Every structure is written in structure tokens, then in C-alpha cells.
Chains A and B, each alone.
Chain A
Amino acid sequence: MPEIQNYTMNFGPQHPAAHGVLRLVLELDGEVIQRADPHVGLLHRATEKLAENKPFNQSIGYMDRLDYVSMMCNEHGYVLAIEKLLGIEPPLRAQYIRVMFDEITRILNHLMWLGAHGLDIGAMTVFLYCFREREALMDCYEAVSGARMHATYYRPGGVARELPDYMPQYQPSPYRSKRELERMNAARQGGLLDFIEAFTDSFPSRVDEYETLLTDNRIWKQRLVGIGVVEPERAIELGFTGPMLRGSGVEWDLRKMQPYEVYDRLDFDIPVGVTGDCYDRYLVRVEEMRQSNRIIRQCVDWLRANPGPVMLDNHKVTPPRREEMKGDMESLIHHFKLFTEGYSVPAGEVYAAVEAPKGEFGVYLISDGANKPYRLKVRPPGFPHLAAMDEMVRGHMLADVVAVISTLDVVFGEIDR
């Protein structure tokens, strides 16, 4: 009689539910997972090593490309680390802008996550619903930085530009009627803040739409409730952060516990799960979107009322304005030095963390006093989450692997770095 063996299956790296380039070696007994061994690193680009060979500012763009669905939050962590070592603090308006864009990024990330989660479970429609809102938020990125994804907007000492008073508009096309075009451009007549305000007005009802499709759907619940349960104690041990930790019922959010920028001035709540299964994490993330919307609204109101500089005037760190350069020798020299050599950061080491949408995004920076980081270590939130994959899927079925991968909200840009 032939020996009965487990079935080894290679899940990915070109698998539609692998969220990029995850290679998962699964050992199956029928459809039940006996062991899952994630192989990562297919997107390893040695970001940290590259950053060690560049002046500080040139690496900001690399940070966008780490977790490429929550771009500005990554920049924030890196910029915060540099600022701490330099001992500078950006102007208040810049802090509000950063917080606003952090929350826009959080919504962007959670929308991407929700859409992909739905798609993995088989609910295709919610994916496109989410992309409708993502499109608007991407336009905010575009308006403020010129790039829809990799913005490189945050700089040590503030943000790159003041918020623009115009929005990019849709162009005429043979497949779009004139009335439709006007409707699409209706919210884009004013400045960026008007656009964002209009967005915050409509967004809660959009979240209601997603919830109508999913939250009480029996199939959705059957697929998520009780899947990938992580006890709170275990979640702490495994180094979980962000919604993964809160989904397990641990009240921990850096925005509340170790507030950076102006989070201590804003009013928002932190949703916490109960059982630590996929469904709780889903509810936590959906509620986080609503809370982010609240924060954005408060930032818009403050930014309306308080004009001011968005960048420090310290030209040892921040570039002078172009007009100043034309008339002032000192400014020209500063500009030249900043863009050829960059600024030197005092020797020392620092760990700066922000609450990125996926969890704690930390940057550990060692400087030996040079114009380049001596060592840069990025602490990606998804890394410990994916490391716990094996534990979370053991004993579940093949279809649950897909649900767990997407509930982890993994993005390989940050895990592989």
C-alpha cells in the first residue's frame, strides 16, 4: 500500500492573492494547512544599503517605495528620525499638513486593503468601489506633490510645498459627455482644501456603502469570523502593531500613546476588536477610516484658519526659495551646498516611529556626523505580521490562507525592503 503523504503546494510568487511576490510553501492535508512557510525577499532592493550611500534628503523618495500603498506615512517616519537627530521641529502648519496627509494615506491604504480583501474573498464589486475614492485621494497627492503615488512631499523641516489653490481637472474625451465632465470636475473648482473638505463630507456615506455590501453579509461573516484568531498576549509577543494588535483587543495606538506632530490636539477615537479574528480586524480598519475622516476634517478647518510657513527658515537644512537665491549670495551658497553635499546630521542614534496604517513604522537611524546615514534600519509593520503567518493559518483551509494573507495587509515593498 502506498504511503500517504501530505500535499506540498507552492503558493505564489505569481499568485493573484499573494499580494505581490509572496512565495508560500504550503503543506496540505486535503485542503487543511499543516504548515505554511513564507519565502520573502523577492522584492528586496536593499533600500537601507542604498540610503547609506546617499545624502539624507535623497532617500526620502525611497521611503515612498517601501510600503507603496501608504507612501507619506513612510516618509513621515524617516523625516521624523532626521528631525529628532537634528533637533529641529517643523512649523505648526507643516505639522497639520503632515497629519492631514498621514490620515489621507491611512484612508488610501485601508481602501486598498478593503478592496483587495474583498477581492480575495471573492467580492469583486467592493474593490472598484474603493478605487473610486482612492482616485480622489490620489488626486490630492497629485495636487500637492505632482506625483500620484510616490510623493516625496515631507522634508526635514516641514513639507515641500504649500497646499495649492487649484486642483487637477478631468480633460474632455470622446467617451465622456460634456455633462459628465462637468459633474466630475464640480468638486475641483476650488483649492485643494475645498476638494478635501468635499471629500470628507461624502466619505462617511461611501463607507456605509462598503459596509452594506460586506459587514452583515452572511458569506462575508462565514469567511472571516473565527479565522486567524490571535490572542492579545500572543499578539504582543509576536510584535504585532497597528490594526493587527488592536483587532486582538489591545488598546495601543502611537497617535494616542506617544503622540507625534499635532495628534494630541485632535479629537479622534481608537477602535479596538474583541476576538482577534479577521472579522474584528476588518471592523477595526473600517472604523479607522471613519476616524481618519474626522481627523482630516479637523485639519482642514485648522489649515483654513491659520496660514503660515510650511517649511523652516533654517537654510542649513531646508533649501532657500528660488527668488531669494537670485538676489542673495548667502542663499545661493546654501542652495548649492544643500543640493551637492546635503546637510550633516550630528552623530548619534535615534529611533522614530509613526503609526502607519499597517502598524508601527519605525526608522532606526545611526549617524556618525556625516551627510549620509551611517546605518538606516526600517522597521516595517508587516514584517512581524507575516512572520506569524504559519501560526495563524495552521489548521485552516486553503481558502482561509487567502483571507489571512489579506487581513495581514502585507505589502512586499516594506517587508522585503
Chain B
Amino acid sequence: MSEAIKQLAERLRSRFPGAAVQHDERVDQITVVVHRAALRETALMLRDAPEFAFRQLIDLCGVDYLAYGDDEWTTQRATTRGFSRGVRRYAGEQDPDRGDPHRFAVVYHLLSLDHNQRLRLRVFAEDTDFPVVASVVDIWPAADWFEREAFDLFGIHFEDHPDLRRLLTDYGFVGHPFRKDFPLIGNVEVRYDPDRGRVVYEPVTSIEPRVLVPKVIRAPGHEQPMAPPTELPVAPPGGPADA
């Protein structure tokens, strides 16, 4: 299949000179990174151009790159406090104003039934405080719930989505739980309050946040921690050349 994938990569490069097309040889998959402004044109072309014909949207998900490449292992600050010795927690302590415009991304997985090919499309939401990406519901109707899910879990807004409600979390939930700065134990816990005779929400007190196995970045087969890959593939600004 590799040859066909290479050809697809070539075609994509010539069709979308404004996008970053990467072909990961190891897993033989193609990622196209487009600029936010060019998303809908790219999507339409990928769906309608007969040489692509990606008629099916298989998956759509949000990604939060806040803690990408950070590990939780430190030997400098080793303490004698027991279990979490040597562990520093990154996700929650991360400086939220890292100012990285590439914190939130939306990843689309496309499938072309005609050519039997897959494609990954990524778009960065640019704004960290209010990430917005154009909705593709009218291009691929399957995106409806997937976009609702990404909105729910990551707080990414999809412009012109017909019904952007929370999907998976509770009615009246606050926050976006899959963001890296959202603690794993959550912000609130519920219990039945016998005095008030109803279920109440309270800040979490019953669980200690802790890291069971610290996250460690190592090059495969080596014992030394590896420098994390800091360079994220980013699309140059602007749209496709012919747009």
C-alpha cells in the first residue's frame, strides 16, 4: 500500500501547496495540517475531488498539546516523602499562559471508500482562551456528534454547528475534562447530604491527586531520557494556493 500512499502524498502536496503534508513512513499514514482559515475549502475539496473522494469522516477529535513532551520524572527534587518521590506533576502545574497558539488542535480522520485510503487532517485552533474552528457538519454529517464531543471535552467551539451542546458530561457540568490542565480526579465530587435531603456537589476532598507511574520520555531501547520532540508540525498561514 505504501506506493499508493506516496502517490496520495504527492497529489496532496501539489493540490494544497499551502498545507503541510507529512508522510510518516513508519506507520505509512499521511497527515495534512491546514490553517484554520483554509479548513472548509480543504475539506470540501478532499470530499469532492475525484482523486481524493474522502466521502466518509471516520473520526473527529480534539487534542490538547499543552503538556506535549513534558515528563513527570525528576531526580533533582527527590524527597523522602514516600510514594511520589521523584515525581513532579506537570499537567496541572503548567503555566496556562504558555502563549502557544498550537495548544488545541482538531484532528479529522477521513476514509475514501473509492480509493481505499485514509487521511488525517489537522487544524490548530490558534486561540488558547477561546479556541474556534469552523464546523464541517454540512460537509460530513457524521461530524455532528463528534464535534459536540470535542466541544464538551476540550472546549473547542465549532462555528456554525447547528446544535453545539455538551454530549458526554453531566447536565450542568463545569469545565472541559480532557484538557491537560483539568485534574484527573476532577473538580467536584457528589455525595448524598442527609441534612439537606439531596445530592450535593462539593470540591474534591476524598481523593489525593497522585501519580502512580510517572511519565518518562525515553528513546526506544535507551536508558537515558531523550530530549522531547518540541517541534510540532504546524501549517504555514494562509489557505490553499488556488483559493
Contacts and interface: CB of A to CB of B under 8 A. Distances in A.
Interface stretch (B13-21, B36-44, B50-58): B50-58
A316 B59 contact: no
Nearest to B113: A252
Interface of B: 1, 24, 26-27, 29, 31, 55-59, 61, 63-64, 67-69, 71, 107, 109, 113, 116, 118, 120, 140-142, 144-146, 166-170, 177-178, 184, 211-221, 226, 228-229
A384 B31 CA distance: 23
Contact of B220 (A258, A346, A349, A379): A346
A258 B116 CA distance: 8
Interface stretch (A44-52, A90-98, A204-212): A44-52
A362 B109 contact: yes
Specify the main secondary structure of chain B where it touches its partner: loop
Interface string A365-390: 01011111011010100011011000
B167 to A, nearest CB: 6
B58 A387 contact: no
Nearest to A377: B61
A237 B140 contact: yes
A323 to B, nearest CB: 25
Given A236-B55, A368-B68, 10 more contacts: A44-B169, A46-B177, A53-B184, A238-B141, A239-B58, A316-B220, A349-B29, A369-B69, A371-B216, A384-B145
A345 B219 CA distance: 8
B142 A49 contact: no
Contact of B178 (A46, A351, A362): A46
B217 A368 contact: yes
A15 interface: no
B25 to A, nearest CB: 10
A409 interface: no
19 contacts: A40-B167, A49-B177, A49-B184, A50-B184, A53-B212, A237-B56, A237-B140, A252-B113, A346-B219, A346-B220, A350-B27, A351-B29, A362-B109, A364-B107, A368-B68, A368-B229, A370-B215, A370-B217, A371-B216
B104 to A, nearest CB: 12
Contacts of B178: 46, 48-49
Given A46-B177, A87-B26, A344-B218, A41 B184 contact: no
A350 B59 CA distance: 13
A371 B177 contact: no
Contacts of A55: 213
A41 B168 contact: yes
Contacts of A49: 177-178, 184
A351 B109 contact: yes
Q: Which 3 A-B pairs have the closest CB atoms?
A: A239-B142, A41-B168, A387-B145
Given A54-B213, A347-B229, A239 B169 contact: no
A386 B214 CA distance: 37
Interface string A315-352: 01000000000000000000000001111111111110
A348 B184 contact: no
Contact of B26 (A348, A366, A369): A348
